[in-house]
Structure formats: C-alpha cells, structure tokens
Homo-oligomer: A and B are copies of this chain.
Amino acid sequence: MEISDIIKNYFEGKGWIEEPKNLYEPIDYAMQSGGKRLRPTLVLMAVKLFGGDVERYVETAAAMEVFHNFTLLHDDVMDKADVRRGRPTIHKKWDDNTAILSGDAMLIKAYQMVASKVEDTKLRSVLDLFSKTAIEVCEGQQYDGDFEKRKDVTPDEYFNMIRLKTGVLLAASLKMGALLAGASEEEQRNIYDFGMNVGIAFQIWDDYLDCYGDEKTFGKKIGGDILCGKKTFLLVQSLIKGGASQKQTIRQLINNNNILPEEKISAIISIYTQLDMPKLCEEAMDEYFRKAMKSLSLIAKSDEEKAPFIAFAKKLMGRKS
C-alpha cells in the first residue's frame, strides 16, 4: 500500500470520541480537518528509506500529526486566529477553555500513540526524540510571541525561531522514521538535517504566502502576520535592506493601530515589493533547498529511493522544478 493510503486509512479508522464529549469532540474536529498529513508521511517515508516495517509504525507516525495539531490548537488561541484550513478554529467554534483543555489531552494522546507500537528496545530513544522536539517547538512559539512585541529582530534570531517553530518537527519526523527503521546515528543526523533545511525553506515560503499568496489555497487571510506584528523573513530582511525612510515607514506602520488593517497590510506589502522581497525569498529558499539536497546526498541510498524526498521538498516550497 502507498504511504499516503496507509496514513489515510489509519485516520479514517481512528475513533477519537469518548466521554466527556466536550473534551473529545474538539479533538475529532481538529483531526478531521485534513491538512497535508506531512509529518506522518515523513516518518513513514524515512521508515521505508531505511528498510523498516512501514505498516507497523503508522500509529507512531500519526502521533506526530496529533502533536502538530495540538500546537495549532493552542497557537490559534494565543494568536486569536479565527480561521484554520478554511474552517472556524476550535476556540471560535467552542471557546478558549475547550481549546486549552482539548489541546492538553491531544498532547497526552500523542505521547500514548508515539509509544504504543514501538519495540521496548527503541522506546527510550523514541520518547527522548519526541520530548526534545516537543519542548523545542514550545520554545519556538515563545520566541515567535516575544518577537511580536519587539521592534527589531536580527536574521539570526529569526532563523533560530523558525528552526524551532517549524524546522524541528519536520526534521524529527524524518529522524523518528530512521530511528524506528534502525538507521545509524549518522543516517539519522543526515535525514534530520535534510528535514531541517526543507523546514526553514518552507517557513520562508509560508511567510511569503502571507503577503503574496492566494487566500483560497493558503486557507488563511492575507496579511495576518503583518497585523500580529510577526517577525517574518520579509519584515526582518526589509529592516536590513531598506533605506532609512523605508525602515522608518515600516516601523511606524507596524505600531500604528489608527489605520485600517487593509491599509496597513497593503502599505507594508508595497514596501516589500519595492525592496524585491519576493526575489529575496526565492533566493533564500533556493539556498536552503541546496543545503537540504546536500544532506540528502550524504545518505547512501539510490537516486530512485531518494526521489520522493526531493519531490516532497520541492512541493513543500512551491517549486515547480
């Protein structure tokens, strides 16, 4: 069976709803929302690459998706986001308390799932990887929130934040698969580095889409990051590349709550465009794509076996070739 079908079957067959319903129905709603199921796909792709038993580890793989959805649930409360994947967020459809508590239960469920089908000999490594990754994702989310309140953020700080917020979970999903399949530590490290670089490129792409994307395919409103004061690749770079007056205009606009949101968004995007930010995003994504390809090249597997990883990387960062 194809990996995508194995994952689809798992989620379709999984019943989330138990008592009390108000705890479990939001979890069901979150898990039914679809999404790309990227992270479990990555786990099983790596299991397959390193010759492991793909069907055995579907629940461990699915745990990464449950964890990811837990982070979205709590992030949406913290960001006061109303829409996710084209549907009302859980704190909108229910309330904040439901989103907090159901999120907590999802994190615990993820721990149960990650462990349940793993051999005892691998249990500690799996758990250590999962917990380390989970805490790093929280750290990334904290930096993201902290940065919203700051005027300037350096590119180094930005990259550290997106490494934690986005990179580690994609990287760890691949490493999890390698670990489950019994790959060597070096192989685990290389596949992790591949995932990390793809993840960083993916986040830059996501930052780009917040300004230049299509609301329908993006699933979120354009300019959300701008209104939150999020420190995106475009903002951080504009505050370096821009002339004195452009920088000043950006800083004034970000802190100005007396203009209409649409005006704020279009004024800032207009400066981004003047500063050639779409091109800069593309160059940065290319750089991380190259780094990812380099890590992949260190793994002693055939081009055919590695092809799905290259296709995945391209798809994730919106590349056509």
A115 touches B104 (CB 8 A): no
Partner of A22, one of B77, B111, B142: B142
The answer to whether the Cβ of A267 comes within 8 Å of any Cβ in the partner chain is no
- Stretch from A5-13, A119-127, A209-217, A234-242 forming part of the interface with B: A119-127
User: Known: A111-B127, A124-B115. Is A135-B20 also a contact (CB below 8 A)?
Assistant: no
A131 touches B146 (CB 8 A): no
Chain A contacts with B in 90-116, Cβ cutoff 8 A: 96-97, 100-101, 103-105, 107-109, 111-112, 115
Chain A contacts with B in 65-99, Cβ cutoff 8 A: 74, 77-78, 96-97
Report A158 CB to chain B, min CB distance, Å: 14
List the B side residues contacting A20 at CB < 8 Å: 139, 142-143, 146
A145 touches B105 (CB 8 A): no
Q: How far is the CA of A134 from the CA of B138 in the complex (A)?
A: 19
List the B side residues contacting A108 at CB < 8 Å: 107, 131, 134-135, 138
The answer to whether the Cβ of A23 comes within 8 Å of any Cβ in the partner chain is yes
List the B side residues contacting A96 at CB < 8 Å: 78, 96
Q: How far is the CA of A97 from the CA of B146 in the complex (A)?
A: 11
Chain A contacts with B in 210-240, Cβ cutoff 8 A: none
The answer to whether the Cβ of A60 comes within 8 Å of any Cβ in the partner chain is no
Contact with B along A267-278 (1 / 0, CB 8 A): 000000000000
List the B side residues contacting A141 at CB < 8 Å: 101
List the B side residues contacting A111 at CB < 8 Å: 111, 127, 131
Prevailing SS type, chain A contact patch = helix
A97 touches B120 (CB 8 A): no
B142 touches A101 (CB 8 A): yes
Count residues of A near B (Cβ-Cβ below 8 Å): 35
Q: Which of A23, A74, A138 has the most CB of B within 10 A?
A: A138
Q: Which of A78, A105, A142 has the most CB of B within 10 A?
A: A142
Partner of A78, one of B19, B22, B100: B100
A105 touches B146 (CB 8 A): no
A138 touches B101 (CB 8 A): yes
Q: How far is the CA of A141 from the CA of B111 in the complex (A)?
A: 19
User: Known: A77-B100, A109-B135, A146-B22. Is A127-B124 also a contact (CB below 8 A)?
Assistant: no
| Interface residues, chain A, with chain B CB atoms under 8 Å away | 19-20, 22-23, 74, 77-78, 96-97, 100-101, 103-105, 107-109, 111-112, 115, 120-121, 123-124, 127, 131, 134-135, 138-139, 141-143, 145-146
14 additional A-B pairs beyond A78-B96, A101-B142, beta carbons within 8 Å, are A19-B139, A22-B146, A23-B138, A23-B142, A101-B138, A101-B145, A104-B107, A105-B135, A105-B139, A108-B138, A115-B131, A120-B124, A123-B124, A123-B127
